[in-house]
Amino acid sequence: MSGRIAPPLALMAALLILAGCAAPDDGKRNIIGPVFFACDDGTRLTVRFDQDDDTARVVGRRGLSVILPRGRAASGYAYEDAGFSLRGKGRDAFWEMPGRAPTRCRERTSQ
């Protein structure tokens, strides 16, 4: 076996080299927010947009907390699932919950 590495050992060596090239997981997420919204119907929302998972976590009063996957939008953004929907562009958005009509919301600077 002089001058040759056995195939399983060569594979293991290649895997170890590739593992060393992987980007370290520093635990940091690419999060935008919190973004605060005030809606025409009195609803107040706090939203965190997770760019890594393509989701939006929407938190409201009375314990509301939903994570919505990104939906399709011609322009702006859309997150929706199970009757919940957050769609917007710029500082304006529309929020919809199951069984309720959509309400217009506007980004605000604080809670």
Tell whether 24 is covered by a domain. no
Tell whether 3 is covered by a domain. no
pTM over 0.85: no
Q: How many domains, the chain? A: 1
Burial (0-12, 13-18, 19+ Cβ within 10 Å), 7: exposed
Q: Phi, psi at residue 93, to the nearest 5°? A: -150, 165
Q: Which CATH number do you get for residue 58?
A: 2.40.128.200
The parent domain of residue 98 ranges over: 31-108
Tokens 């217009």 sit on residue:
104
Tell whether 91 is covered by a domain. yes
Q: What is the pLDDT of residue 28?
A: 74
How confident is the prediction along the chain (111 residues), in pLDDT tens digits per residue? 555 545 554 444 444 444 444 444 456 779 999 999 999 999 999 999 999 999 999 999 888 999 999 999 999 999 999 999 999 999 999 999 999 999 999 999 887
Q: Which two tokens stand for residue 45?
A: 């929302």
Q: What is the pLDDT of residue 8?
A: 52
Tell whether 20 is covered by a domain. no
